[in-house]
Amino acid sequence: MLKEALNETMKAAADVAKQTTMPLDAEEVGVVTAVTGSIIDAVGLKNLKAEETVLIGKDQLKGIAYNLLADEVGIVALEDSEKIQAGDKIIRTNEIVRVPVGNGLLGRVVDALGRPLDGKGQIVATDHYRVEREAAPIMHRKAVSEPLQTGLKAIDSIIQIGRGQRELILGDRQTGKTAVAVDTIINQKGNGVICIYCSIGQRGSATAQVIEKFKEAGVIDQVITVVAGGEDSPGMQFLAPYSATSMGEYFMEKEGKDVLIVYDNLTVHAEAYRQMSLYLRRPPGREAFPGDIFYIHARLLERSTRLLPEHGGGSLTALPICETLAENVSAYIPTNLISITDGQIFLSSGLFQKGMMPAIDVGISVSRVGSKAQIPAYKAVSGPLKMFYAQFEELEAFAKFGTQLDADTQKSLTRGERVREILKQGQYEPLAVEHQVIIVFAATTGLLDGVPRDQVGAMEKDLIKEVPKKAKALMKKITDRKKLSGEDKDELAKAVAEVITAKGFEAKADQ
């Protein structure tokens, strides 16, 4: 009986195909046999290609072919699937899904297909790139050696990021993951780095707030915002990061520019793909995710790199965001992403609740590439910082038992408290690298030891304001990425000490 029903459906599809006047750019017409969520089963499209775009129904809604079986095809609807019914016609386009690329996208808000969402008119595209593209071969890549400054002291000093790196940002809900990424984009203002913010499954109001922050910071003209909201289909959410990456690859390959791309977030992306796969009747595996869930993220993040000059010379730096539950970094999707990326920035809900913002857990966070790209002056002043801070946290835990402490231990605790204070930073307040060098140098050399802990924040602002005036040549040397000599460090220490002493505190650096 099932076989007879299938034969009748196939016959109906053939009749529809005969009665339809086919467009010049189409080869076949199929018919919808079933609609499950945003997944469409269809027959009559024997020559359909994988990831080919199709037009469905009288409204010609877009879809993409994913399952190519012997007797039917599985199509993911990209638009309102509620308007699609069994019996609707499907027309091939003979086009693999592509998105517009070029300078016309800068400052714009688009969907996963590159269509405008901001009401500013059509996109003027330089070219159109396939959404799914092969990553650059190893022989076309160059070592990461240029820093990507985030403007956040806790990252630039301890967990450095280089241009062309993939650094995962992970943590529980509401711990400031998006804030770290947005601050990094804001910090690229005026330095020629093209930024792409890809919002996947987020609330529309949250994405609108991020876009508004870009406008307030004056960085919107160098940002492309790709949005696949929570109300969009799983297909659009799945497609969004690949589309955003193709847009970035144009600037990296054709214009030799540095690109920063934020995927917010890949946990939602994985869930959208799981939903698609289950509707496509692909076998589920661990936690109901399909077996190729690792591959979909690997092929996305592998496209981030730094190219040799003869192959474009640009770079694509990725900051994927991943959400954890109860700080479980050993869960399925987080461990997948940790193994793909070049390091991770872990945001702790415990630190967040204590007011440590950004709430970066220095012990778990790591960068496997960026330290090679850190500017010489910063490396000279922040080299021992991570080790010292980790030791301080252990000492602090030990000191809570009320044990009598010797003078050296007490000194380490005092300094560690000042280091913790200077690593705190307000949201949307990224700092220039030369200002960070001043603050980190003051804390690590002990110049801030005589400043009361509750006044370290105010002292930091005074140092940023006054020290550059006292050491203009030294500030230029830092921004020009030159090494600091012993005399330079003495000059910096003197300038910092003068400011601290002028405020009535003791300033004595370690010898």
- Which residue stretches of 107-203 are H helix? 153-158, 177-186
Tokens of 268: 């939602």
pLDDT of residue 4: 57
**Closest C-alpha among 421, 342, 358 to residue 150:** 358
Q: Calculate Rg over the CA atoms of the chain.
A: 27
Identify whether 100 is preceded by a cis peptide bond (ω within 30 of 0).
no
Is 0.85 topped by the overall pTM? yes
Strands 29-36 and 89-96: antiparallel
* Residue 189: pLDDT over 70: yes
Q: Domain-by-domain residue ranges, the chain?
A: 2-96, 142-374, 379-502
Round the average pLDDT of the chain to a whole number and report it: 90
Band (pLDDT 50/70/90 cuts) for residue 403 is low
For 106, phi then psi, to 5°, come to -65, 130
* Residue 81: pLDDT over 60: yes
pLDDT of residue 8: 60
Tokens of 280: 């496509």
b/e 39-65 (16+ beta carbons within 10 angstroms → b): bbbbbbbeebeebbbbbbbeeebbbbb
Residues paired with residue 330 on neighbouring β-strands, in sequence order? none
Residue entry with tokens 């459906």: 9
Q: What CA–CA distance (Å, rounded) separates 69 from 45?
A: 10
Cβ-Cβ contacts under 8 Å for 435 (sequence gap 6 or more): 464, 468
Cβ-Cβ contacts under 8 Å for 485 (sequence gap 6 or more): none
Q: What CA–CA distance (Å, rounded) separates 414 from 318?
A: 37
Q: What CA–CA distance (Å, rounded) separates 418 from 506?
A: 14
Number of Cβ within a 10 Å radius of residue 141: 16
* Residue 507: pLDDT over 60: yes
Identify whether 265 is preceded by a cis peptide bond (ω within 30 of 0).
yes
Residue entry with tokens 């661990």: 286
Question: Angle CA(201)–CA(81)–CA(44) in degrees, nearest 5?
Answer: 125
* Residue 504: pLDDT over 70: yes
Q: 2-96 is classed in which CATH architecture? A: Beta Barrel (2.40)
Domains 2-96 and 142-374 share a fold: no
Residue entry with tokens 């010049």: 24
Number of Cβ within a 10 Å radius of residue 292: 14
Strands 194-200 and 258-264: parallel
Half-sphere exposure of 139 (CA within 13 A, CB side): 0
* Residue 6: pLDDT over 50: no
What does the pLDDT look like over 302-350, one tens digit per residue?
Answer: 999 999 999 999 999 999 999 999 999 999 999 999 999 999 999 999 9
Least confident of 6-15, 161-170, 327-336: 6-15
Given CA atoms 110, 116, 120, 122 in this order, what sign does their dihedral have?
A: positive
**Closest C-alpha among 437, 361, 368 to residue 170:** 361
pLDDT of residue 2: 41
What does the pLDDT look like over 361-379, one tens digit per residue?
Answer: 988 899 999 888 899 999 8
Band (pLDDT 50/70/90 cuts) for residue 18 is very low
Tokens of 283: 């076998």
Q: 379-502 is classed in which CATH architecture? A: Up-down Bundle (1.20)
Least confident of 155-164, 267-276, 480-489: 480-489
pLDDT of residue 412: 87
b/e 237-248 (16+ beta carbons within 10 angstroms → b): bbbbbbbbbbbb
Q: 142-374 is classed in which CATH architecture? A: 3-Layer(aba) Sandwich (3.40)
Least confident of 89-103, 320-334, 384-398: 384-398
Contact by Cβ (8 Å): 327, 171: yes
pLDDT of residue 418: 92
Residue of 130, 133, 282, 368 marked catalytic? 368
* Residue 489: pLDDT over 50: yes
Question: Catalytic residue at 306?
Answer: no
Residues paired with residue 258 on neighbouring β-strands, in sequence order? 315
Least confident of 25-39, 93-107, 362-376: 25-39
* Residue 16: pLDDT over 50: no
Contact by Cβ (8 Å): 168, 338: yes
SS3 sequence, 456-483?
HHHHHHHHHHHHHHHCHHHHHHHHCCCC
pLDDT of residue 115: 95
Residues paired with residue 366 on neighbouring β-strands, in sequence order? 344
